[in-house]
Structure 1
Amino acid sequence: MSRFDWPTLMRAGMRGLGLCPAEFWALTPAELHLLLGGRGAAPLRRSGLEALMAAYPDNRSEDGEEQNG
């Protein structure tokens, strides 16, 4: 069973936003959410970037060569 209420979403997209069926079905759920007034994800802050860099470091040596393993 889908976790989306498709009839309601289709009414909102096609009647409320004036989308044609092809436009509606071409959207991702996130795009439809934004068009309907939802908020997007918060921007990545410095601390978040640093955490990602620590978790997934580049595998390159100081001379720029890619390291295996």
Structure 2
Amino acid sequence: MSGARIDWPGLVRAGLHRLGLAPGAFWALTPVELKIMLGADQAAAPLTRARLAELAAAFPDAMKGADDGGTGKPDRAAGDAGGAAGGLGPDGDGL
């Protein structure tokens, strides 16, 4: 046992009041079932194209100017080889 204390009063309140379970139904649940019913086991939503576009707009790639030794193209992270596996077309731009 990890030594973590279980908040029984909080769990009973959540089951009986928040979920509206009868006491017998609450005590018949397994901890995993209660966790799922309370929504604690929900995974994060997958990243969609729209969300990726929002993030790209909010955090654009840094552009290096000629005085920085750059080419005016987005500065790639060190070790990023690009290419087809990196999601880039043959000219180095996005597909």
TM interval, shorter chain, is 0.5 to 0.7
Choose between structure 1 and 2 for higher RCO, CA contacts under 8 A separated by at least 6 residues: 1
Cα RMSD, aligned residues only: 1.8
* Counterparts of 1:2 and 1:25, CA distance in 2: 20
**What is the match of residue 32 of structure 2?**
30
TM-score (normalised: structure 2): 0.38
Larger Rg: 2
TM-score (normalised: structure 1): 0.52
Query: In 2 relative to 1, CA 24–2 (structure 1 residues): closer, same or farther, beyond 3 Å?
Result: farther
**Alignment of structure 1 residues 41-60 onto 2, 5 Å:** none
- Structure 1's unaligned 5+ residue stretches are 42-69
Structure 1 stretches of 4+ with a deviation exceeding 4 A read none
* Counterparts of 1:23 and 1:2, CA distance in 2: 25
Q: Percent identity?
A: 55
The residue type equivalent to 1:23 in the other structure is: A
